[in-house]
A and B are shown apart, each in its own frame.
Chain A
Amino acid sequence: MESLSNRKKVIEQRPMNFWERIYLPAIARGLSITIKHFFKKIPTVKYPEQIRPYSKNFRGQHSLKRDELGRERCTACGLCALSCPAEAITMTSAERKKGEEELYREEKYASVYEINMLRCIFCGLCEEACPKEAIYLDGPHVTADYLRKDFIYGKDKLVEPKFDITKLAQ
């Protein structure tokens, strides 16, 4: 039958000739291939010491942001938990007391804010849902651990450390 695509390759099967049968030239060819690889540049990235540059929109561990005065931005509206397709976020809200104005930006804040990192799929929908720009997935990888309970990250791990805005601007 006529081949339409012209890509058909006819493989010729003939008895091996003398050089093919003594196998030594084939061995030499194989050895030359492996020795070529021996001197090749190795593409391995030695991970903990050497880190490959991340993409700009890489989504890692969540962080709860503070505003320019160092107050927590989250107002515990629950939109992130609602938008979360994996049901990874829970929170308990509380009312801001007198004298806590430098701690929390809004009158309502999250007294408990937990993300189950085993459930989280790092989709970034919480980031999009947040009206207060309080949560971003801008952290590093979430590392492995031994116990399931250690994957439920509370505010101690999520809230970003306090910083000085004037120094940061420099």
Chain B
Amino acid sequence: MEVAFILEKLILVVIIFVITLVIAMYSTLAERKIAGFMQDRYGPDRAGIFGLLQPLCDGGKFFFKEEIIPAGAHKTLFVIGPVIAIITACISSAVIPWGQNLTIGDQVITLQVADVNIGVLYIFGVIALGVYGIMLGGWASNNKFSLMGAIRAASQSISYEIPMGLSLIALLMVTGNLSIGDIVANQSGFNWNIWVQPLGFLIFIVCAFAECNRVPFDLPECETELVGGYHTEYSSMKLGLYMFSEYINMFVSSALMAALYFGGYNFPFMYDLGLSENWITIIGTLVFFLKIFGFIFFFMWIRWTLPRFRYDQLMNLGWKMLIPLAIANIVLTGIITIVVDTYFK
């Protein structure tokens, strides 16, 4: 490995890390703003113009709040819980391709930290790991509500990983590739995977909501039943880390949906406009972020529209609806692929 390569990747990692944190920070503001507008009010608008400094105020508040560790809590695990949550949230963005190659002089820079040839599975594994943060935090709090939240989170995440994986298998049958970089590259122009996998996308987005613990599947932290769910006993920045990891997860899953189903950095007529390579890359990256913001908005839009599911409804939806649907989707995809390959080529 040469130094330039490591340096390039390091800079890219830092940039993506900063962007992720900033987006997570401003997602909190966006959430409150969108909630406000959907309820015919303004939302926070006192700190700075349009309330743009509100996330900084919230962060500062988190840092200066008193840190309380309950007497009966398991101290080590109580601290490790939020750490795991935030780390797993952050490392999942490593395999997402943020754009095409950027050529500066004779240096070609790939806007992707690691093009692992099993990128989809990597993300899947990291998501599966994320539940440990919630489980450990909830168990270590030594509180019934926290434990209930943790157990709900665990069973929910395991239940929804299955249809999510199955919907991805159908996608992989179409793309024939496990690397996210190649999957996105194959969707150039307007050949997005959503056109061939609409049902798969529907299953995937429902599972993404469940994996992110977002409304209508936010049962691990549902305040009407469990006080605060798994983070009932958390205060100060440890609570902040949990909140942050939730928003980072939302960002990453938005990016994943945009990359897998909505063409990532590809946009219609990208090669017909006569732009230079670098301009296509830059515009593509912007388009990608636009898609991500669209999905984040959709997450929040759903949150302020739908009521929370009951737990048995959640499990019924996961096991009795989504899994059969996902399997049917796989079979359907297989049949269509064979028919198209034999008769239309």
Q: What residues make up the interface of A, taking CB atoms closer than 8 Å to B?
A: 27, 30-31, 33-35, 37-38, 40, 42-44, 46
Contacts and interface: CB of A to CB of B under 8 A. Distances in A.
B37 A42 contact: yes
B305 interface: yes
Nearest to B34: A38
Nearest to A28: B305
Given A27-B306, A44-B42, A37 B301 contact: no
Of the listed residues A35, A37, A38, the one surrounded by the most CB atoms of chain B closer than 10 A to its CB is A38
Contacts of B37: 37-38, 42
Contacts of B40: 37, 40, 42-44
Contacts of A30: 305-306
Nearest to A33: B305
A34 B41 contact: no
Contacts of B306: 27, 30
B285 to A, nearest CB: 27
A37 B304 CA distance: 11
A42 B34 contact: no
A44 B305 CA distance: 21
Contacts of A43: 40
A27 B152 CA distance: 24
Given A31-B305, A34-B305, 4 more contacts: A30-B305, A34-B38, A35-B38, A37-B38
Nearest to B42: A44
Interface string B301-316: 1101110000000000
B39 interface: yes
Interface residues of B, number: 13
A43 B305 CA distance: 20
A31 B41 CA distance: 18
Contacts, number: 33
A137 to B, nearest CB: 31
A52 to B, nearest CB: 16
Contacts of A42: 37, 40-42
A44 B46 CA distance: 14
Contacts of A33: 305
Contacts of B34: 38
Interface of B: 34, 37-42, 45, 301-302, 304-306
Contacts of A35: 38, 301
Nearest to B39: A37
A46 B38 CA distance: 18
B316 to A, nearest CB: 12
A37 B301 CA distance: 11
A19 to B, nearest CB: 15
Given A38-B34, A38-B37, A42-B37, A31 B302 contact: yes
Nearest to B46: A46
6 contacts: A27-B302, A31-B302, A34-B38, A35-B301, A37-B37, A38-B37
A45 to B, nearest CB: 11
Contacts of A31: 301-302, 305
A46 B40 CA distance: 13
Contacts of B38: 34-35, 37-38
Of the listed residues A33, A34, A37, the one surrounded by the most CB atoms of chain B closer than 10 A to its CB is A34
A43 B39 CA distance: 11
Of the listed residues A30, A40, A43, the one surrounded by the most CB atoms of chain B closer than 10 A to its CB is A30
The 8 closest A-B CB pairs, nearest first, are: A34-B305, A30-B305, A34-B38, A38-B37, A37-B38, A44-B41, A38-B38, A31-B305
B17 to A, nearest CB: 32
A26 B248 CA distance: 29
Contacts of B41: 42, 44
A145 to B, nearest CB: 21
Nearest to B45: A46
A31 B39 CA distance: 13
Of the listed residues B38, B39, B41, the one surrounded by the most CB atoms of chain A closer than 10 A to its CB is B38
A37 B40 CA distance: 6
A40 to B, nearest CB: 6
Contact of A34 (B42, B45, B304): B304
Nearest to B317: A23
B208 to A, nearest CB: 15
